[in-house]
């Protein structure tokens, strides 16, 4: 089992880390208000906290809001804000959300610039897991445990609580039912190297870190490094069509350009009735490792101007109301159980799910190694 806490090289330099650490101390001294954790404080940084009860967290956040302007600054993708912002403000009318609409990739770029400059603005940043390790190494994100972390699917949880999955994006194989007969449906991801699928596959460019990057990486542990590269080469020999995003892949599949795609499950469940696209939840097929689930995660800045409000926002995203806010508009799957209506967007019952954190830990902590292999093969 590979731990996601493995250290990688820091892009920020020692000087920046010193500045960051000092910034974190100053920020906490100046901005933490009356927010004191009810539980113990763990880790070396004073931003690290364990909130064991929601009541204590709310109390601390309220005190923080009273002492300051009552806002929490979040960087979040535009598809979530229309529901998440009013939902949180309705749950906690004394708090306000300053939401900056940023997709995960630019959110990482902006947060990275802030960290580099030692400037604290953001409280919570939502990103892909591939961005987490950099900030962790730079001590730019805090280890915070919120009460609702315990509700999260254990396979997605970060044991060190640097990141908090808020929605999950299952990555599946889809096929165009107008072009594919039942006998030609692949049972699992490994089948995609079969020459009979040559010229018929579309996926997002793996080195861009989207669904295809995750799904292809999931086979490395079972195939071994050499076998994995051979398998990737066999897929490449079939000249798959590579796109910029999984939404482009889905559009290509639906148009009929290609017959099969590695796509997001969200595209499948948001289809209109009669759409000629079928699903292979490959965890159900023989020999499959299980459906890879890519989480969108929230991280709390180590220099968050409003650390208690930040923790409260993350905690709310992991509540039933927050779970609904996460998927209502976007057909995303909540990471916690018991969210009303989540059956409509969840994977089919009994689907085997790939153990993300334990078996894809290498990809999460060191995506560049995988990406360089992808870049060499999928030229």
The residue within the footprint of other proteins, chosen from 242, 299, 309, 357 (CB under 8 A), is: 242
Any residues with CB less than 8 A from the CB of 138 and at least 6 apart, and which?
A: 10, 11, 12, 16, 17, 20, 115
The DSSP result for 265-279, as a single string, is HHHHHTPPTT-SEEE
Q: Name the one residue in this structure whose structure tokens are 């009979």.
A: 196
Among 2, 6, 110, 352, binds other proteins (CB under 8 A): 110
Choose, by CB under 8 A, the member of 12, 58, 146, 339 that binds other proteins: 12
Q: Does 326 bind other proteins (CB under 8 A)?
A: no
Residues 339, 173: Cα–Cα separation, whole Å: 26
Stretch that binds other proteins, among 176-184, 186-194, 224-232, 351-359 (CB under 8 A): 176-184
Per-residue contact string for residues 249-288; x = within reach of other proteins by CB under 8 A: -xxx-xxxx--------xx--xxxxxxx------------
Cβ nearer to other proteins, comparing 250 with 313: 250
Query: At its nearest, how many Å lie between other proteins and the CB of residue 236?
Result: 11
Interaction between residue 134 and other proteins (CB under 8 A) = yes
127 versus 336: smaller Cβ distance to other proteins:
127
Q: Does 13 bind other proteins (CB under 8 A)?
A: yes
Task: Please tell me what DSSP assigns to residue 206.
Answer: G
Which of the ranges 21-29, 31-39, 173-181, 344-352 carries the binding residues for other proteins, by CB under 8 A?
173-181
Instruction: State the nearest-atom distance from the C-beta of 106 to other proteins, in Å.
Output: 5
> Does residue 205 interact with other proteins by CB under 8 A?
yes
Residue ranges of alpha helices (H) inside the chain are 13-31, 54-67, 81-91, 104-117, 132-137, 211-217, 220-237, 246-255, 265-269, 307-317, 320-327, 356-359, 361-365, 367-377
108 near other proteins (CB under 8 A)? yes
Q: Are strands 241-243 and 124-128 parallel, antiparallel or unpaired?
A: unpaired
Size of the chain in residues: 379
Q: Distance (Å, rounded) from C-alpha 136 to C-alpha 145?
A: 15
Query: In degrees to the nearest 10, what's the CA dihedral of 42, 46, 52, 53?
Result: 170
Sign for the pseudo-dihedral over CA of 377, 186, 266, 322:
negative
Q: Which 3 state secondary structure label does DSSP give 22? A: helix
The tokens describing 142, both together, are: 């805090």
- Using CB under 8 A, which of the segments 59-67, 129-137, 223-231, 352-360 binds other proteins? 129-137
Binding residue for other proteins (CB under 8 A) from 36, 113, 338, 341? 113
Is residue 341 left, alpha or beta, with left meaning phi > 0 and alpha meaning psi from -120 to 50? left
Interface with other proteins, residue 112, by CB under 8 A: yes
Judged by CB under 8 A, the stretch of 32-40, 143-151, 327-335, 355-363 that binds other proteins is 327-335
* DSSP letter assigned to residue 191: G
Q: Is 244 in the site for other proteins (CB under 8 A)?
A: yes
Separation between Cα atoms, residue 175 and residue 262, nearest integer Å:
9
342 binds other proteins (CB under 8 A): no
Selected from 29, 286, 343, 379, the binder of other proteins by CB under 8 A is 379
Range in contact with other proteins (rule: CB under 8 A) among 44-52, 205-213, 298-306, 349-357: 205-213
The answer to whether 124 and 74 are in contact (CB under 8 A) is: yes
Query: Distance (Å, rounded) from C-alpha 50 to C-alpha 161?
Result: 9
* Size of the residue set binding other proteins (CB under 8 A): 69
Residues 75-104 that bind other proteins (CB under 8 A): 78-79, 81-82, 98-103
Binding footprint of other proteins on the chain (CB under 8 A): 8-9, 11-13, 15-16, 73, 78-79, 81-82, 98-103, 105-106, 108-110, 112-114, 116-117, 119, 121, 130-131, 134-135, 176, 178-179, 202, 205, 207-209, 241-244, 247-248, 250-252, 254-257, 266-267, 270-276, 329-331, 368, 379
């Amino acid at each position: 089992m590979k731990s996601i806490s493995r250290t990688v090289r820091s892009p920020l330099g020692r000087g920046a880390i010193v500045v960051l650490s000092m910034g974190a101390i100053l920020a906490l001294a100046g901005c933490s208000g009356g927010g004191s954790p009810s539980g113990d404080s763990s880790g070396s940084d004073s931003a690290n906290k364990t909130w064991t009860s929601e009541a204590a967290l709310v109390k601390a956040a309220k005190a923080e809001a009273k002492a300051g302007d009552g806002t929490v600054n979040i960087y979040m993708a535009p598809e979530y804000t229309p529901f998440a912002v009013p939902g949180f403000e309705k749950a906690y009318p004394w708090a306000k959300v300053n939401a900056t609409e940023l997709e995960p990739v630019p959110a990482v770029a902006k947060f990275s610039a802030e960290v580099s400059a030692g400037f604290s603005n953001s409280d919570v940043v939502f990103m892909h897991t591939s961005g987490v390790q950099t900030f962790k190494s730079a001590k730019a994100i805090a280890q915070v445990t919120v009460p609702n972390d315990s509700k999260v699917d254990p396979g997605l949880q970060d044991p060190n609580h640097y990141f908090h999955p808020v929605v999950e994006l299952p990555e599946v194989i889809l096929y165009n039912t107008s072009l594919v007969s039942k006998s030609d449906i692949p049972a699992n991801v490994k089948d995609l190297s079969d020459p009979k699928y040559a010229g018929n596959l579309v996926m997002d460019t793996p080195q861009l870190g989207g669904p295809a990057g995750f799904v292809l990486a999931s086979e490395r542990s079972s195939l071994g490094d050499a076998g994995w590269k051979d398998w990737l080469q066999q897929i490449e020999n079939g000249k798959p069509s590579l796109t910029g995003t999984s939404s482009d892949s889905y559009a290509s599949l639906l148009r009929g350009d290609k017959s099969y795609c590695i796509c997001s499950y969200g595209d499948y469940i948001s289809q209109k009735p009669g759409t000629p696209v079928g699903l292979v939840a490959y965890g159900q097929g023989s020999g499959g490792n299980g459906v890879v689930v890519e989480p969108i995660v929230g991280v709390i800045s180590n220099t968050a101007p409003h650390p208690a409000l930040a923790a409260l926002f993350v905690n709310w995203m992991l509540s039933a109301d927050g779970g609904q806010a996460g998927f209502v508009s976007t057909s995303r799957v909540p990471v916690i159980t018991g969210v009303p209506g989540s059956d409509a967007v969840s994977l089919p019952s009994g689907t085997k799910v790939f153990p993300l954190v334990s078996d894809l830990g290498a990809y999460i902590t060191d995506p560049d190694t995988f990406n360089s292999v992808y870049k060499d093969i999928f030229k």
